[in-house]
A and B are shown apart, each in its own frame.
Chain A
Amino acid sequence: MPRNQQYSISKKITLMNVLVSAVALLLASGGFCAYDLYSFRAALISNVSVQAQIIGDNTVSALLFNDPHSAEMTLSALNANHNLTYAQIYTRDGQPFAGYWRDRAGEARPVPIIPSGQTQTHWFKDGQLGLARSIIFQGKSSGTVYICSDLGAMNDRLKSYGLIIVAVLFISLLAAFMVGLVINGFMGSLYSKLETGNRFMELSVDLFCVAGFDGFFKNLNPSFEKTLGFTTRDLMAKPYLEFIHPDDRPATVVEKAGLQEGKVTFAFENRYLCKDGSYKWLLWNAVSVSEKEAIYAVARDITERKQAEALLRESEERHRKLFDNNPHPTWVFDRETLRFLAVNAAAVRKYGYSRDEFLAMTLKDIRPPEDVPALLETVRALGDGNESSGAWRHRLKDGTVIDTENTSYALTFLGRPARVVVAVDVTQRKRDEAEKRKIMDSLAATNQELGLRNREVERATQMKSKFLASMSHELRTPLNAIVGFSDLLAGGTPGALNVKQKRFVDHIKQGSTHLLQLINDILDLSKIEAGQLELHTELFRVNDALPEVLSTIHPLAMAKNIRVEQKVQNKCLVKADRVRFKQILYNLLSNAVKFTPNGGRISIECVDDWDFVRVSVIDTGIGIRPEDQKLVFEEFRQVEGNAGDTQQGTGLGLAITKRLVEQQGGRISVESEFGKGSRFTFSLLAVEAGSAVPAVEELARASVTMASGRLTPLVLIVDDEAPSRELLASYLAPQYRVAMAESGARALKEAQCLRPDVITLDVMMPGSNGFETLAALRKNPVTVNIPVIILSIVDQKQVGFALGATDYLIKPVLKPALLDTIRRHVPSPADDDSSILLVDDDPKALELLEESLRSAGYETQAVRSGARALEVLANKVVGAILLDLLMPGMDGFQVIHHVRQEPAFRELPILVMTAKNLSHDEIALLNRETQGLMQKGGSWKEQLIAEVGRVVRGRGLAKSAGQP
Chain B
Amino acid sequence: MKHLHGTDGVRRIPSDRATRPVLSLRPLLIAVAAACTFLAIPALHAQNPRPTDYEVKAAYLYNFGRFVEWPEKAAANQGGPFTVCVFGQDPFGPSLDATLAGETIGGKTIIAKRISSAQESGDCQILFLSLTEASRLNKIIADLDKKAVLTVSDMPQFVKCGGMIQFVLEGKKVRFEVNLTATQHAGLTLSSELLKVATVVRRNPQPGD
Q: Which residues of A contact B (CB under 8 A)?
A: 58, 60-67, 70, 91-93, 137-138, 140
**With A and B bound together, what is the CA distance between A138 and B65 in angstroms?**
11
Known contacts A58-B193, A70-B197; decide if A64 and B7 are in contact (CB<8 Å).
no
**With A and B bound together, what is the CA distance between A763 and B145 in angstroms?**
209
**With A and B bound together, what is the CA distance between A436 and B148 in angstroms?**
177
| B1 engages A67 (CB within 8 Å) | no
| B3 engages A140 (CB within 8 Å) | no
State which size class the interface on B falls in: 20 to 34
Task: Pull 27 A–B residue pairs with CB atoms less than 8 Å apart, ordered by A.
Answer: A58-B193, A60-B193, A61-B67, A61-B191, A61-B194, A61-B197, A62-B196, A62-B197, A63-B1, A64-B2, A65-B63, A65-B176, A65-B194, A65-B197, A66-B1, A66-B173, A66-B174, A67-B175, A67-B196, A67-B197, A70-B196, A70-B197, A91-B1, A92-B1, A92-B3, A138-B105, A140-B7
Known contacts A137-B66, A138-B66, A140-B7; decide if A61 and B173 are in contact (CB<8 Å).
no
Contacts of B3 in A (CB 8 A): 92-93
Question: Does B60 reach chain A (CB closer than 8 Å)?
Answer: yes
Contacts of A138 in B (CB 8 A): 66, 105
**With A and B bound together, what is the CA distance between A60 and B1 in angstroms?**
10
B45–chain A nearest beta-carbon distance, Å:
14
A452–chain B nearest beta-carbon distance, Å:
167
**With A and B bound together, what is the CA distance between A63 and B60 in angstroms?**
11
Contacts of B66 in A (CB 8 A): 64, 137-138
B159–chain A nearest beta-carbon distance, Å:
16
| A64 engages B1 (CB within 8 Å) | yes
Contacts of A58 in B (CB 8 A): 193, 196
**With A and B bound together, what is the CA distance between A93 and B51 in angstroms?**
14
**With A and B bound together, what is the CA distance between A92 and B3 in angstroms?**
9
**With A and B bound together, what is the CA distance between A801 and B7 in angstroms?**
171
Query: Contact flags (1/0) for B50-65 with A, using CB distance below 8 Å?
Result: 0000001001100100
Contacts of A91 in B (CB 8 A): 1
Closest A residue to B106 using CB positions:
A138
**With A and B bound together, what is the CA distance between A70 and B201 in angstroms?**
14
**With A and B bound together, what is the CA distance between A92 and B105 in angstroms?**
19
| A62-B197, A67-B175 given; 9 more Cβ-contact pairs under 8 Å | A61-B193, A61-B194, A61-B196, A62-B196, A64-B2, A64-B63, A65-B176, A66-B56, A66-B174
Contacts of A60 in B (CB 8 A): 193
**With A and B bound together, what is the CA distance between A62 and B1 in angstroms?**
9
**With A and B bound together, what is the CA distance between A137 and B67 in angstroms?**
10
**With A and B bound together, what is the CA distance between A58 and B1 in angstroms?**
15
CB-CB contacts below 8 Å: B72-109 with A: 105
**With A and B bound together, what is the CA distance between A138 and B59 in angstroms?**
15
| A65 engages B191 (CB within 8 Å) | no
**With A and B bound together, what is the CA distance between A92 and B1 in angstroms?**
8
B33–chain A nearest beta-carbon distance, Å:
23
Contacts of B67 in A (CB 8 A): 61
**With A and B bound together, what is the CA distance between A120 and B79 in angstroms?**
35
A55–chain B nearest beta-carbon distance, Å:
13
Q: Which residues of B contact A (CB under 8 A)?
A: 1-3, 7, 56, 59-60, 63, 66-67, 105, 173-176, 191, 193-194, 196-197
Closest B residue to A65 using CB positions:
B197
Q: Is the interface of A mostly helix, strand, loop or mixed?
A: mixed
Closest B residue to A93 using CB positions:
B3
Contacts of A70 in B (CB 8 A): 196-197
Closest A residue to B59 using CB positions:
A64
Closest B residue to A142 using CB positions:
B1
Closest B residue to A143 using CB positions:
B1
**With A and B bound together, what is the CA distance between A61 and B197 in angstroms?**
7
B59–chain A nearest beta-carbon distance, Å:
8
Contacts of B56 in A (CB 8 A): 66
**With A and B bound together, what is the CA distance between A70 and B199 in angstroms?**
10
Closest B residue to A97 using CB positions:
B1
Closest A residue to B48 using CB positions:
A93
Contacts of B59 in A (CB 8 A): 64
**With A and B bound together, what is the CA distance between A92 and B59 in angstroms?**
14
Q: Which of B1, B3, B66, B105 has the most CB of A within 10 A?
A: B1
Q: Which of B2, B56, B174, B196 has the most CB of A within 10 A?
A: B196
**With A and B bound together, what is the CA distance between A137 and B59 in angstroms?**
15
Closest A residue to B176 using CB positions:
A65
**With A and B bound together, what is the CA distance between A768 and B59 in angstroms?**
181
Closest B residue to A61 using CB positions:
B193
**With A and B bound together, what is the CA distance between A64 and B60 in angstroms?**
8
B97–chain A nearest beta-carbon distance, Å:
18
**With A and B bound together, what is the CA distance between A884 and B195 in angstroms?**
184
B49–chain A nearest beta-carbon distance, Å:
13
**With A and B bound together, what is the CA distance between A61 and B198 in angstroms?**
10
Contacts of A61 in B (CB 8 A): 63, 67, 191, 193-194, 196-197
**With A and B bound together, what is the CA distance between A139 and B188 in angstroms?**
22
Contacts of A63 in B (CB 8 A): 1
Closest A residue to B199 using CB positions:
A67
Q: Which of B56, B60, B176, B197 has the most CB of A within 10 A?
A: B197
**With A and B bound together, what is the CA distance between A58 and B3 in angstroms?**
21
Contacts of A140 in B (CB 8 A): 7
B127–chain A nearest beta-carbon distance, Å:
19
Closest A residue to B191 using CB positions:
A61
Q: Which of A58, A64, A66, A91 has the most CB of B within 10 A?
A: A64
**With A and B bound together, what is the CA distance between A541 and B174 in angstroms?**
168
**With A and B bound together, what is the CA distance between A138 and B2 in angstroms?**
14
**With A and B bound together, what is the CA distance between A940 and B30 in angstroms?**
196
Closest A residue to B62 using CB positions:
A64
Contacts of A67 in B (CB 8 A): 175, 196-197
Contacts of B174 in A (CB 8 A): 66
Contacts of B196 in A (CB 8 A): 58, 61-62, 67, 70
**With A and B bound together, what is the CA distance between A70 and B198 in angstroms?**
10
Q: Which of A66, A91, A93 has the most CB of B within 10 A?
A: A66
**With A and B bound together, what is the CA distance between A67 and B197 in angstroms?**
6
A684–chain B nearest beta-carbon distance, Å:
149
**With A and B bound together, what is the CA distance between A63 and B67 in angstroms?**
13
**With A and B bound together, what is the CA distance between A64 and B194 in angstroms?**
9
**With A and B bound together, what is the CA distance between A58 and B196 in angstroms?**
9
A138–chain B nearest beta-carbon distance, Å:
5
A514–chain B nearest beta-carbon distance, Å:
178
Closest B residue to A57 using CB positions:
B193
A326–chain B nearest beta-carbon distance, Å:
141
Closest B residue to A67 using CB positions:
B197
**With A and B bound together, what is the CA distance between A65 and B177 in angstroms?**
12
**With A and B bound together, what is the CA distance between A92 and B196 in angstroms?**
20
B201–chain A nearest beta-carbon distance, Å:
13
B158–chain A nearest beta-carbon distance, Å:
17
B157–chain A nearest beta-carbon distance, Å:
21
* Among all A-B residue pairs, the 4 with the closest Cβ atoms: A61-B193, A65-B197, A67-B197, A64-B63
Contacts of B2 in A (CB 8 A): 64
A74–chain B nearest beta-carbon distance, Å:
8
A64–chain B nearest beta-carbon distance, Å:
5
Contacts of A92 in B (CB 8 A): 1, 3
B12–chain A nearest beta-carbon distance, Å:
16
A421–chain B nearest beta-carbon distance, Å:
146
A68–chain B nearest beta-carbon distance, Å:
10
**With A and B bound together, what is the CA distance between A140 and B105 in angstroms?**
11
Closest B residue to A91 using CB positions:
B1
**With A and B bound together, what is the CA distance between A61 and B174 in angstroms?**
13
Q: Which of A67, A70, A137 has the most CB of B within 10 A?
A: A67
Q: Which of A58, A65, A137, A140 has the most CB of B within 10 A?
A: A65
**With A and B bound together, what is the CA distance between A63 and B175 in angstroms?**
12
A65–chain B nearest beta-carbon distance, Å:
4
Contacts of A66 in B (CB 8 A): 1, 56, 173-174
**With A and B bound together, what is the CA distance between A620 and B1 in angstroms?**
179
Contacts of A64 in B (CB 8 A): 1-2, 59-60, 63, 66, 197
**With A and B bound together, what is the CA distance between A62 and B193 in angstroms?**
8
Partner of B60, one of A62, A65, A93, A137: A65
A692–chain B nearest beta-carbon distance, Å:
137
**With A and B bound together, what is the CA distance between A58 and B173 in angstroms?**
20
